[in-house]
Structure 1
């Protein structure tokens, strides 16, 4: 019996859980997150609230602020399939900010859903449902499976898709199981279908590895139908996404237990922010990722609704992060922050958002000011330098060379 199937631990009267979903303009997708939160609450016997990264309310910050007066401990559980930028950057940044805003609140940050036996079992059932249909309609015997995920710029996340595909293949009667992606990286769905079809199975089952029944899931279904119509010698059909299957609660409750006992395990040996992987050397160290996370959060705060594009932003040209952690604050960072904001407001050419940041890792060299996406970090900045940063760098794209601490 898994930890999640056992009775919830005692001593939970002063604890709550925050289930973090991505967020969608499609309310149906957001409601799926709330449904899973309700299931967790029933199973664990503790309050479970919902927060979203973007595109829906409440935000993570708002949700934590709502819980803070009522409990002393909040465990954040992430409803994300893989550990890419949201899991590694955006949620930790939001949690770290919440820690500074609610110093009396203990916050634990859990991991993503990842690779879990319950998910492999769920995928097997999703494939079997389509397989049964194909066998009933056309007598398919040799069945191949194509597992199609969203695709990421993080090689660690993409590798987990291939691992899931292999686990789904092992010990089962599928002719083969291949992994592919809707976008961002290769192989794409169309190429995977062509490659698998060359082996002449009777049927191919396409599994959209998505949580909800949204834009990407429909894209998988449409391309599957197009392939099926174009190549009549093999039957091809798409299955359902993960949805709100109760087995996801097994995974979420396990992730909750790991987080609240400080035993979260992440795949740091293959994380591009921790080690120099070929082709991703510039990402090692995490500073660029942190700045990207800041910009991503702020751009969503100022977005405009754009039809069905789930990642449309009305983002500023630049984002300026001012470290206001303890050391930089003591050296005058709050005054620098306010002067930068005032100078930006006074400028007719400046298109930038200026925000606080947690520690930038350059203690003793501050106050630190980082300008993104340029990757320019200014050090030892004082209040009077703020006008130069705005008038030269933000207005005219001219770096203030005597203030540069490092460039990324």
Structure 2
């Protein structure tokens, strides 16, 4: 029997963990797989090993592991596969398939635009935009963010689109926020490219408050739960399934 194991990043903040699990609960109906479990890479339980055990206890013989992460940085490329390698030996009768994370996708840019529109503020054609990423030392992250910025420019026709990171990559969010504010834009949008609020959103609010800005600064909600993301997850799980789709039905007997 087939299962999907959603591997979330994990957080010490209970609200962050709860948001991730609630998101997965809302996504499960989109996914036509009988067994679906969630676990955390770090800082929380169930662990990956516990998550696999929960799947196996329900009769899973084949598990599609989906890293519930925005981009293919160190966690998706190294940490989760390493953890899987460690625990695979405890489950010799199980076949594992590893899916890609959400990745660069046009629908993610559509969500950013939706988050801007829901503030009720008009988006001025000369607005400055700061897309905020968590950051990673993996060069693929900065390449992916450049692709997201380009997609955003293309879809919105806004020209002044910038990126700032909260950690482990340059330029930092704080530096970019100060630099853009010094240019006195008529409108400065701060768009958190983060799945959930957690501590990081509080950091953004604090930095914006300390600006003492003459500009009109608008902080949008983070990406959060969105049906578009559930659809991308469905696609990623399907891509990882060697039968070419999990709703596979044999017509031979």
Q: TM-score, normalised by structure 1?
A: 0.56
Q: Choose which of 231, 243, 247 in structure 1 pairs with 2:213.
A: 231
Quick one: which of 44, 52, 74 aligns to 1:85?
74
| 1:245 paired residue number | 226
- Distance in 1, matches of 2:166 and 2:85, equals 32
The equivalent residue for 2:179 is: 195
Do the aligned residues in 2 keep the contact of 1:150 with 1:181 (CA within 8 Å)?
Answer: yes
Preserved contact between residue 37 and residue 54 of structure 2 (Cα < 8 Å): no
- Specify the alignment match of 1:74 in structure 2: 63
Which residue of 74, 93, 112 maps to 1:104?
A: 93
Instruction: Write the distance in 2 (CA, Å) between the matches of 1:231 and 1:31.
Output: 34
Deviation at 1:231, TM superposition (A): 2.5
Deviations 1:317-366 (A, max 9, x none): xxxxxxxxxxxxxxxxxxxxxxxxxxxxxxxxxxxxxxxxxxxxxxxxxx
**1: CA distance, partners of 2:209 / 2:159:** 21
8 Å CA contact retained: 1:119, 1:247: yes
What runs of 5+ residues in structure 2 fail to find an aligned partner?
Answer: 245-253
1:25 to 2, 12, 23: 12
User: TM-score, length-normalised on structure 2?
Assistant: 0.88
C-alpha distance after superposition, 1:74-129 (max 9, x if no partner): 10111111222211111101222232221111111111111012111111111223
Aligned to 1:180: 164
1:254 aligns with 2:235: yes
Q: Any unmatched runs of 5+ in structure 1?
A: 1-13, 264-408
Larger Rg: 1
| Bigger relative CO (Cα 8 Å, ≥ 6 apart) | 2
Give, in angstroms, the shift of residue 204 of structure 1: 0.7
Number of aligned residues: 242
Alpha-carbon separation, structure 1, partners of 2:231 and 2:109: 12
Query: Structure 1 residues 262 and 90 mapped into 2: Cα distance closer, same or farther (>3 Å)?
Result: farther
Over the aligned positions, Cα root-mean-square deviation in angstroms equals 2.0
Residue 223 of structure 1 aligns to a residue whose secondary structure is helix
Provide the rounded CA distance (Å) in 2 between the counterparts of 1:210 and 1:262.
Answer: 32
Query: SS of 2:174's equivalent?
Result: helix
Provide the C-alpha distance between the structure 2 equivalents of 1:75 and 1:54, rounded to a whole number of angstroms. 19
Q: Does 1:169 align with 2:157?
A: no
Q: CA deviation at 1:262?
A: 8.4
State how far apart, in whole Å, the 2-side matches of 1:44 and 1:141 are: 39
In 2, the alpha carbon distance for the partners of 1:171 and 1:42 equals 30
1:284-332 Cα deviation digits (max 9, x unpaired): xxxxxxxxxxxxxxxxxxxxxxxxxxxxxxxxxxxxxxxxxxxxxxxxx
Paired position in structure 1 for 2:144? 160
Residue 216 (structure 1) aligns with: 200
Partners of 1:151 and 1:185 within 8 A in 2: yes
Describe how 1:4-403 pairs up with structure 2 within 5 A. Answer: 14-46=1-33, 47-69=35-57, 70-130=59-119, 132-133=120-121, 135=122, 142-197=126-181, 199-227=183-211, 230-232=212-214, 234-261=215-242
